[in-house]
Amino acid sequence: MSAFPFVDPLYHEPIGRYAHSPEFERVLTDVLLESWSVERSGVWMAARPPWRRYPDQGFKLHVSAVPDDAEEILRRVAMICGETATEFKCAADPRLLSHINSKRASRGSSGKFMTLYPESDHAFEGLAARLAEATAEFDGPYILSDRRVPGSRCVFYRYGGFSRRSRMRPDGTREYLIRGVDGSDLPDRRQPFFALPEGIADPFPPEDAASGGDLRIGDRFEIREALAFSNTGGVYLATDLATGADAVLKEARPHTSSWSMQDGYLDAVGMLEHEHAVLTDLAGTGVTVQPLGLHRAWEHTFLAQSFAPGEPLRSFRGRPEIILTTHMDDPERVGQFCGVFHTVARGLLAAVRAVHEAGYVIGDLSPNNIMVDADTLGVTLIDVESAHRPDDRVATLARGWYTPGFRPLDEAGRRAVTPADDLYAAGMALYSLVMPVQHFFRLHPEAAPRFIDRFVAAGLPEEVRDVIAALAAGDADRASDLLDTWAPTLSVPSYA
């Protein structure tokens, strides 16, 4: 794991260079005897008794936690480990715990705030019971690779290696191993589902869970395929059985991607509920997908919404007829690009203004959540969970929700997202049609005008540059006037 951007905002660094905060380490030194060693190891803080007591493999215990409960859970679990001389590790500090539970975390390892290494199967069962009792009032993210210990909502278990036995794969990466019941080496996979090696019996009866074969949500939507997965949940293409139309379902897993707030904390479920409220308020604008309701299935929440035709701008700009960089010497291609740019720019500006007129700022606008219909060039906004009004609960957090390259470079010190930020993002999204290098502008701000000026010198109409510049400056009226008065025509460079 790299510590980007834990150590430096501009460079990837080894996680070992990240200076952790002292909260969790302080708990360990308070609870454990002086004979224990407490040492940082990458993401983890490892706590070891004076002697090594665990086998090479077996059932390990994991404990998950939300940020506000983490220190108390750590204290209680560490006390039990101290009493039983059980080696364990925990996330090194609250920031790393948040990273472990974040949207982009690995689904096979996310949620594992603490890992315990029992010395035997008998010790495992005793520890599991004690941990479940000690943490009975707490809840935590579901660890996808594990099963819950009966009676607990934050203690989990799985079978795996304790020592780091591994072999090298043909591609040079390492694969961790366990030994099968027949003595052969087996991969020790961290998968986003529970699985036991052949010949290993589950020590507990199966927990009550949602049926994995149930593809209907809310008795109305039938899932056809998965479009994407993240640690917070999947995105699925579904059929609306009430209308026969395509629909999209966004899933939220509780306690993932948590944010501490003065009045508690916000997690993926809260964000999905907020997005549903935003879509409901914006439904009449016609510029976003339409909400089709919130639904619960097992412990997860699903936002049903209309299907937006087209594809994200990030992939739309890669269509052969859009790519401009290698075709500046072809007047027909330049003219074709300008026609597309003009239509998409008008649609995008209209969408952003409609959201602003409804009292919202978008917050995180980028080529990832701008859908473009290749047939009509119509624009639809999706994934508007960052959109908010000034008095919304999420407003205090939204300053940090943006895609690098699509937030003004001079934002330091400002406490609120503004309409001008959205206009800047719209300008950079349009700039990405010309050349998708916006994330580099933070390294060299002067490159932003320099790149586009070179394209203009090579024959790109000045209006493309001027529309982008007006939006980047937050001047929606000027951008609108330019688009109204510009009828795209071919612009051929002069080589005289």
What residues are annotated to the active site?
364
Whole-angstrom Cα distance, residue 489 to residue 81? 74
The token duo for 160 is 């795996």
CA atoms within 13 A on the CB side of 479: 30
**DSSP codes joined into one string, 121-148:** HHHHHHHHHHHHHHTTT------TTSEE
Question: CA-to-CA distance for 215 and 238, rounded, in angstroms?
Answer: 9
474: left (phi over 0), alpha (psi -120 to 50) or beta: left
Contact by Cβ (8 Å): 272, 250 = yes
Tokens of 63: 């404990």
Q: Is there a contact between 53 and 119 (Cβ–Cβ < 8 Å)?
A: yes
> Alpha carbon of 489 to those of 212, 368, 386, 460: distances in Å?
56, 29, 37, 10
- The distance of Cα 396 from the centroid of its chain, to the nearest Å, equals 19
Q: List strand residue ranges (DSSP E) for 169-252, in order.
A: 174-179, 185-187, 216-217, 221-230, 233-240, 246-252
What type of residue is 22?
Answer: P
**What is the distance between the alpha carbons of residues 121 and 127, in angstroms, rounded to a whole number?**
10
246-252 and 216-217: which strand pairing?
Answer: unpaired
- Number of other residues whose CB lies within 10 A of the CB of residue 164: 10
